[in-house]
Amino acid sequence: MKMKRIITVLFIFVLMFTLAACSSNSKLVGQWVEVEGNGVADSFILREDGSASIEGWSGEWRIDDGKLYVANVLDGGEYYNYKISGNKLTLIEVNDPDDVAVYKKVS
């Protein structure tokens, strides 16, 4: 009986963590257009399946250790610290914290 309770609690914890992670990722899905700064792209699309389109070039994206990883076929990938506030996305390049860009979600 005690083992069943422990397994149930662990299952609930894993489920909550999974749902929280999916919720965060789903906010990133969509088309983004730069409104401020000098970011890596004027616009990009992040899709639910992890694929991306960065100014027309194919790419991929994912969340690694709380950082947004975006890569395209031309120049590999970069990691960004990110913050979502409403329909605005702020990206700060991990390797160059002075490189900050703000994007607006358009779809």
Given a cut of 90, is residue 81 above it in pLDDT? Answer: yes
Give the β-pairing of 57-64 and 67-72: antiparallel
What per-residue confidence (pLDDT) applies to 76? 80
Q: Whole-angstrom Cα distance, residue 33 to residue 72?
A: 17
Place of tokens 């070039």: 57
Contact between residue 60 and residue 45 where contact means Cβ atoms under 8 Å apart? no
Count of C-beta atoms within a 10 Å radius of residue 101 = 20
What per-residue confidence (pLDDT) applies to 72? 82
H or E element at residue 20: helix 2-28
The pLDDT tens digits of the residues spanning 17-70 come to 333 344 457 899 999 999 998 776 899 999 999 999 988 889 999 999 999 999
